[in-house]
Structure 1
Amino acid sequence: MNLNQIHNVYFVGIGGIGMSALARYFKAIGKQVSGYDKTPSILTSELIESGISIHFEDCVALIPKEYQPDNTLVIITPAVPKSHAEWNYFLDQKYEVKKRAEVLGIITKDTFCFAVAGTHGKTTTSSILGHILYESGADVTAFIGGIVENYNSNLIGTGKTITVVEADEFDRSFLHLHPNIACITSMDADHLDIYGTSEAIEASFVEFADKITDKTKLFITKELPIEGVTCSVNEDAVFKAFNVRIDNASYVFDVQTPTEILKDLRFGLPGRHNLMNALMAIAMAKTYGTPTEAIAKAIASFKGIRRRFSYQIKTENLVYIDDYAHHPTEINAVHQAVRELYPNQKVLAIFQPHLFSRTKDFADDFAKSLSAFDEVLLLEIYPARELPMEGVTSQWLMDKMTNNDKKLVTKEDLIPSILASDATIIVTIGAGDLGELVPSIKKALNETV
């Protein structure tokens, strides 16, 4: 498929974080862009403000008339049901219909592609890498699965020759990519609704790793059963972060590379997992040839990602952090970071489980992760693309928790319940629509500070 012959790009599910990055990209390179989504959100509002036409009703009549099969690319998200009227119309009328991952494959095929894979850490690692390359003057476009605070966007740059992409294992999407340099941050079991077993996920990652024939261009954590260049914090590895200390709420550390030691790098994102993400990005940029000074400067100026340990309130008496964590490993990382930064303070976690299948598959691990917090408020499960599963409820999950201070709350009761707590550290956790509630939680808490 030749993107140069495409005048119009239509998105079915334009409000998704990965889809909206592509929408911004096609708008930036001069294509006519519009689309459908099920519900309005902060992201769809931002896209509309940028001049992209979006509607929220599954209605074929709302598709622009000038969008014809010979001049239009249709991009769909896996979250859209097979019964979707617009999607079926595009198929019946023989439009070019592609998944988001296939389109990323087409875009990256003719570029020098950095691909960031892993069940956790993709978004942070790829945004740090995109920021390093962009700040160093590289001709880069980075497609990010989150809103990067430095750019207030999930697209960094609009370069033509270098791309940075998240290599998403969901639906085996990452097998469409053409990476030149890649990393794998983790291979925990996830998406068992797609894969069935953790062995199947591992096999898929091995297949992805095989796309990099030169293993000096594939970066891995030490425990992964894959051949590549090792990266580690405080352990022997080819790229090693060490001498780690906290100074003024930032990490300061040194990095041993195969050829030199980078001294006193400063990095503002909390949590050892983020230190590992930064190290992966540094290793890839260094191997590509980015100058040390540019790397150091970019690492220090990186502000983080919306909904990734994102400070909403930070005062002497109250801290409110919002995080997208939706897997037990990610919740553990949030807990570790909070305890490291705020020892001996009471922590309230508000969690909205994401997907019935994920809640069912990891119920015991979720219960253990959440029980580590001092107090927990639990919302109902956010279904996303799924129908309810019998017996899989937030009450069922809460009954597994060993924490005594726990409560199931509705969205309506959430803010009064938060205000009733005496916790000085508050974290909202989850990948559903909890993020839409953050502004009103912040407003209510600010009125009490």
Structure 2
Amino acid sequence: MMEFNAIRRVYFIGVGGIGMSALARYFKFHGKEVSGYDKTPTTLTRMLEQEGIAIHYEEDLNQIPTDADLVVYTPAIPAGHKELVYYQQHGQVLMKRSEVLGLITRSSFNICVAGTHGKTTITTMIAHILRHSGYGCNAFLGGIAVNYNSNYWSDERNVCVVEADEYDRSFLRLSPDIAVITAMDADHLDIYGTAEEVQKAFIDFSGCLKPGGLLLSRKGLEKEAGLKGDRHLTYGLDSRADFFASEIRIDQGDYLFRMQSSDWSIDKVVLSMGGRHNVDNVVAAIAVAHQLGISGDKIVEAVAAFRGVKRRFEYIVKKPNRVYIDDYAHHPEELRALIGGAKELYPERNCTIIFQPHLFTRTRDFADGFAESLDMADEVILLPIYPARELPIAGVTSELIAGKMKKAKVTIADKKEVLAMIKKMAGNPDRAELLITAGAGDIDTLIEPIRQLLEV
């Protein structure tokens, strides 16, 4: 097996991915020469370049390091990618992101957070509490922590907080000391085929726990009884869970609650992140911190200081008559939690959501669920499907979702048309609006133009 100290030069194919960029930063921090390829420049790739990581944006064999000791690639890269094929043919050491994480965490104490929803937020919350409290950790996040404007940081303490990705069964390469499972809903059916196979993968993940390790799962998971682990505790808003939140109330957009278990509690926990599902998420993070021996006072201070994760119920505009929230939600259950949480905080406002479906297969498989969740809003604007790694599927378009909706006013529009609609909305300042953008594609390119229109 490759030894870390033997690695001098690392090349990333798909370096701009959120998980890949965290690894690139890790190797850069440890003095390795790091470079990479990505399809398009983004805010994140520009940040990496500013940190000294050379990146190019065309498949170009003339720009790759032919003497790379390690080539890291993402499963989203097509099999025929010129650079990937070159390295395969020339015998370089190739590893997927999950394999590299396995290599890095082989000798560390690992807190691994998995789940079809909520894993990025919980991973970031745990890492933040450990950092803010002075406990310390190395963090590999699937999102940008607003507090630190990064998805990676390091510490002398040999503890790693890792987002465990279920795509391509990647998380089965990890060895958790503490494993968190948030949800096991059907997703990535292009990989798994059936909901049962998704659930089986999460059960297998729970079996990756080290001897004596702790499994923390959300109370009420369908296959809860089948999960493995020497120690299994639950969390949630359900008072039957081992760790739960009680006395939840809303105060000026913040959630205030009491955190408790059968023999322990802390009062006056304040979470300044919207969405009741995020109270659920922070309960998991607090439970992990408690298991590590962090005091209640330090936990309360850390949670109060938490500023969220970019594109996870992120406030872009928060004015008396204008609230604009952006979120990465790309699954029906995530949309349900997002819209429900926003409307709970702002029940009197007209709720408009701009949603970009992500992947043809996911749209095909969950069209009914998308329609049902989006119908919770007053008005829905659907962008065309973002294809990512997929080719079009006959009959699968945004119209498929629109045709199944029964309540909300629905419009299908491109980005230019969306901005024209928002400009019209901004011209009516007397109407209280709650605007949401959601999706995992390139809908984030609309965030700044929309913000500018609403801030006028």
Interval of TM-score (by shorter of Structure 1 and Structure 2): over 0.9
User: Of 88, 92, 95, which aligns to 1:91?
Assistant: 88
The aligned runs of 1:115-154 (5 Å cut-off) are 115-154=112-151
Contact 1:348 / 1:423 at 8 angstroms: preserved in 2? no
Moved more, 168-177 or 251-260: 251-260
Q: Structure 2: which amino acid aligns with 1:88?
A: V
Q: CA deviation at 1:156?
A: 3.2
**Cα displacement string for residues 313-354 of structure 1 (whole angstroms, at most 9, x for unaligned residues):** 111111111111000001011111111110121011000000
Q: Which residue of 1 aligns with 2:5?
A: 4
Moved more, 399-408 or 274-283: 399-408
Structure 2 residue 392 is the aligned partner of structure 1 residue 388: yes
Structure 2 residue 160 is the aligned partner of structure 1 residue 163: yes
Contact 2:353 / 2:377 at 8 angstroms: preserved in 1? yes
Q: CA deviation at 1:396?
A: 2.1
Q: Give identity over the alignment, percent.
A: 47
Q: CA deviation at 1:128?
A: 0.4
Q: Which residue of 2 aligns with 1:211?
A: 208
Q: CA deviation at 1:138?
A: 2.8
Structure 2 residue 447 is the aligned partner of structure 1 residue 446: no
Q: Structure 1: which amino acid aligns with 2:339?
A: H
Q: Which residue of 1 aligns with 2:260?
A: 256
Runs (5+) with no aligned partner, structure 2: 426-430
Q: Structure 1: which amino acid aligns with 2:91?
A: K
Runs (5+) with no aligned partner, structure 1: none
Structure 2 residue 342 is the aligned partner of structure 1 residue 338: yes
Q: CA deviation at 1:403?
A: 3.2
Q: Distance in 1 between matches of 2:132 and 2:50?
A: 26
Contact 1:28 / 1:158 at 8 angstroms: preserved in 2? no
Q: CA deviation at 1:397?
A: 1.7
User: Of 260, 274, 281, which aligns to 1:277?
Assistant: 281
User: What's the secondary structure of 2:25's corresponding residue?
Assistant: helix
Q: Which residue of 1 aligns with 2:444?
A: 435
Q: CA deviation at 1:243?
A: 1.2
Moved more, 269-278 or 188-197: 269-278
User: Of 183, 186, 195, which aligns to 1:186?
Assistant: 183
Structure 2 residue 344 is the aligned partner of structure 1 residue 324: no
Q: Distance in 1 between matches of 2:75 and 2:268?
A: 43
Relative to structure 1, the CA distance from residue 329 to residue 366 in structure 2 (aligned partners, 3 Å threshold; closer, same or farther) is same
Structure 2 residue 34 is the aligned partner of structure 1 residue 30: no
Aligned residue-pair number: 443
**Cα displacement string for residues 394-448 of structure 1 (whole angstroms, at most 9, x for unaligned residues):** 122211111352111011211002233466111001010001221111112222x
Q: Distance in 2 between matches of 1:223 and 1:342?
A: 28
Contact 2:7 / 2:70 at 8 angstroms: preserved in 1? yes
Q: CA deviation at 1:265?
A: 1.1
User: What's the secondary structure of 1:400's corresponding residue?
Assistant: coil
Q: CA deviation at 1:257?
A: 2.7
User: Of 401, 406, 417, which aligns to 1:402?
Assistant: 406
Q: Distance in 2 between matches of 1:157 and 1:278?
A: 22
Relative to structure 1, the CA distance from residue 215 to residue 338 in structure 2 (aligned partners, 3 Å threshold; closer, same or farther) is farther
User: What's the secondary structure of 2:143's corresponding residue?
Assistant: strand
User: What's the secondary structure of 2:105's corresponding residue?
Assistant: helix
Q: Structure 1: which amino acid aligns with 2:413?
A: V
Q: Distance in 1 between matches of 2:185 and 2:52?
A: 39
User: What's the secondary structure of 2:403's corresponding residue?
Assistant: helix
Q: Which residue of 2 aligns with 1:309?
A: 313
Contact 1:187 / 1:205 at 8 angstroms: preserved in 2? yes
Q: Which residue of 1 aligns with 2:428?
A: none
Q: Which residue of 2 aligns with 1:420?
A: 424
Q: Distance in 2 between matches of 1:185 and 1:12?
A: 30
Q: Structure 2: which amino acid aligns with 1:161?
A: N
Q: CA deviation at 1:284?
A: 1.0
Q: Structure 2: which amino acid aligns with 1:19?
A: M
Relative to structure 1, the CA distance from residue 258 to residue 213 in structure 2 (aligned partners, 3 Å threshold; closer, same or farther) is farther
Q: Which residue of 2 aligns with 1:56?
A: 57
Q: Structure 2: which amino acid aligns with 1:442?
A: R
User: What's the secondary structure of 1:146's corresponding residue?
Assistant: strand
Q: Which residue of 1 aligns with 2:76?
A: 79
The aligned runs of 1:361-380 (5 Å cut-off) are 361-380=365-384
User: Of 260, 267, 270, which aligns to 1:266?
Assistant: 270
Q: Distance in 2 between matches of 1:85 and 1:160?
A: 40
User: What's the secondary structure of 1:420's corresponding residue?
Assistant: helix
Q: Distance in 1 between matches of 2:408 and 2:327?
A: 23
**Cα displacement string for residues 248-302 of structure 1 (whole angstroms, at most 9, x for unaligned residues):** 3211111113432111111111212111110111111111212222211111100
User: What's the secondary structure of 1:231's corresponding residue?
Assistant: strand
Q: CA deviation at 1:216?
A: 6.7
